[in-house]
Amino acid sequence: MALMITDECINCDVCEPECPNDAISMGPEYYQIAPDKCTECVGHHDEPQCVALCPVACIPVNPDHVESRETLMGKYLRLTATKAAKAA
């Protein structure tokens, strides 16, 4: 399941630097999460760091991108392999 940031976001800048997949970026009005990069921190942390740090609890599961833990792990492996290939 990819996460999403709702319009309740106060643009506090806490979530973006904590995302290990660089899935969070500033949108037109508030931060947004790229579902193709979001693994809910699977492979990196025990819980999504953006959710844990968000002071206004505006980061729910994106109902348009429901994924199993296994799918999230596959996405994590694909993203880390891509990063490693670019670094080589």
CATH number of the domain that residue 48 is part of: 3.30.70.20
pLDDT of 88 reads 72
Distance CA 85, CA 53 (A): 31
Beta-carbon-side half-sphere exposure of residue 39 (alpha carbons within 13 Å): 21
On whether residue 1 sits in a domain, the answer given is: no
Instruction: Please indicate, yes or no, if residue 55 is contained in any of the structural domains.
Output: yes
Q: Is residue 20 part of a domain?
A: yes
- For residue 14, the model assigns a pLDDT of 97
Residue 60, amino acid: P
23-56 pLDDT tens trace = 999 999 999 999 999 999 999 999 999 999 999 9
- Residue 8 maps to a domain: no
Instruction: Tell me the whole-structure pTM to 2 decimals.
Output: 0.89
- The whole domain housing 60 covers 16-87
Q: Which amino acid is at 16?
A: E
| Confidence check: pLDDT of 84 > 80 | no
How many structural domains compose the chain?
A: 1
Number of Cβ within a 10 Å radius of residue 4: 17
- pLDDT above 70 coverage of the chain, percent: 100
